[in-house]
Amino acid sequence: MWKGEKAKLKIKKNYGFSSTLDPELLRIPDSCKEGEMLDKLKTKGIIYEITLHDWEIWDDIEHNNSVVKIVT
């Protein structure tokens, strides 16, 4: 991705609102607790639209995660 670029990420419902295989136990936001939105969240994946604002470069100097150089 480039700075300012937008992307859509599709996430399985199990990972979006708590890791569970039972749709009845999902932790749903209050704005989606009833109606059509709730039915969609229980049966389909979740799509997040993201924009890259900035990034950092991480270099693992010793190749064991003990010393990391961060370039911002």
Model pTM?
0.45
| Structural domain boundaries, residue 42 | 6-71
Q: What average pLDDT does the chain have?
A: 76
Residue 1 lies in a domain: no
The token pair at 26 is: 């999902």
| Overall number of domains in the chain | 1
CA distance 69 to 72: 10
Q: Which residue has the higher pLDDT, 58 or 40?
A: 58
Judge whether 40 lies within some domain.
yes
Query: Among 55, 50, 57, which residue's Cα sits nearest to residue 68?
Result: 57
pLDDT computed for residue 21 by the predictor? 61
Q: 20-45, pLDDT tens digit by residue?
A: 566 566 667 777 777 777 777 767 77
Q: Is the pLDDT of residue 5 over 70?
A: yes
Which residue from 42, 69, 39 is spatially nearest to 57, judged by alpha carbons? 69
Structural domain includes residue 62: yes
